Amino acid sequence: MNERYELNKNLAQMLKGGVIMDVVNAEQAQIAEKAGAVAVMALERVPADIRKQGGVARMSDPKLIKEIKAAVSIPVMAKVRIGHFVEAQILEAIGIDYIDESEVLTPADEEFHINKHTFNIPFVCGARNLGEALRRIGEGASMIRTKGEAGTGNVVEAVRHMRTMMSQIRKLQNMPKEELMTAAKEMGAPYDLVVWVAEHGKLPVVNFAAGGIATPADAALMMQLGSEGVFVGSGIFKSGEPEKRARAIVKATTYYNDPNVLAEVSEDLGEAMYSLEISQIDKDNLYAERGW
C-alpha cells in the first residue's frame, strides 16, 4: 500500500511543469497530445457546458473514456463525483492513470469524500486552502490542485486558493513546534501532515492550479505564484482556436518566468472562452463550495 502510494505520488512528479487538458472526445485528445499536453482529462462535458446545461453531472461513459485512452499515449485522467466510490471502482477497473474526485461534478455525498487509501489508482483532489488540501491527502490523495471556479474563464478564485495555501504554508514554517497542534486543530488537518509541511515548506504531494485558467498569461501567473503545473478545462476547446491556444499555454507554463516568450505566445490567439464574473453566479452554482 505504502509503495503504491509512493508510485502514485511519483507519477504526479512526472507531470510537473506541464498542462493537463480537458477533452470530450478522441479527436480533441489527439489535438491536446500534439500540442504538448502532459495528460488529458476525459469527460463528456467541459465545466462551461455543465454550468450552462445544469442537471446532475456524473462520471463519463466508460466507452468514451476508453476511446480517449486508446487515442493517446499520454496519461488519461477522469472525474468522479465527490464521495462516489463506486464510480471510482469503475474507473480503476478500466485502468486509466488518475482519478479526479471533482467538485465540478455534482457531489454524491455531502459529508464524506472517498477513502482513497483503498484504491491502487491515484487520485487528485481540489482544495481552497491548506486544511482542505491536507484532509484530502489524509484520505489518500496523491496530488492536489486548486479548485478555482471551473468553467468561468476567470482566474481570480484559483489565485485566491493558491495564495491562501502558500501563505498558510509560510505561516506554519515560522511556528514553533508547540503551536502546530493548535494550528492543526484550527485548520481541521491531520497533525502529522501539518508537522511535515512545517518542516518542508511545501505540500507532501505535487500541487497544480485549476479552475478558470484561460490564457497563457493565466497559466504563467499561477506558476509564478508557486503552482507546479496547470489544468486547463474549458479554456482551450471553448476558445476560438483551440490548437493554437493549447500550444501557447504549454509554452507559457514552461517559460513562465520569461516575459519575452510570454509576449510572443500570447499574440494572435483568437477569441478566449466565454467568461463569467464570479459575483454574477448564483451561490448554488459555485463549485468551489463543494467538498468538506
Partner 1 sequence: MLKIGVLGLQGSVVEHISMLQRISEVQPIIVKTKKDIESIDALIIPGGESTTIGKLLEDFSLIDLLATRINAGMPVWGTCAGMILLAKKISNHGKTFLNVMDIQVRRNAYGSQLDSFHTTANIPEVSDSPIPLVFIRAPYVEKVWNDVEVLVKVNGKIVACRQKHMLATSFHPELTNDLSFHTYFIEKMVKPRISSLV
Residues that bind partner 1 (CB under 8 A): 3, 6-8, 10-11, 13-18, 33-39, 73-75, 92, 95-98, 120-122, 247, 250-251, 254-255, 258
The cell numbers describing 165, all together, are 495555501
Closest distance between partner 1 and the C-beta of residue 77, in Å? 10
Among candidate residues 16, 52, 69, 79, the one labeled active-site is: 79
Output 97 or 103, the one with its CB closest to partner 1. Answer: 97
The one-letter amino acid code at 178 reads E
Q: Look up 185 and say whether it is catalytic.
A: no
Closest distance between partner 1 and the C-beta of residue 277, in Å? 33
Output 108 or 236, the one with its CB closest to partner 1. Answer: 236
The CA distance from 211 to 157, in Å, is 7
Closest distance between partner 1 and the C-beta of residue 137, in Å? 18
Output 50 or 77, the one with its CB closest to partner 1. Answer: 77
The CA distance from 7 to 3, in Å, is 6
DSSP state string for 89-130:
HHHHHHT-SEEEEETTSPPS-SS----GGG-SS-EEEEESSH
The CA distance from 104 to 195, in Å, is 31
Closest distance between partner 1 and the C-beta of residue 195, in Å? 20
Output 4 or 290, the one with its CB closest to partner 1. Answer: 4
Closest CA to 122 of 147, 108, 140, 145: 140
Task: List Cβ neighbours of 77 (8 Å cut-off, separation of 6 or more).
Answer: 20, 39, 40, 41, 42, 96, 97, 98, 99, 100, 124
The residues assigned a catalytic role are: 79
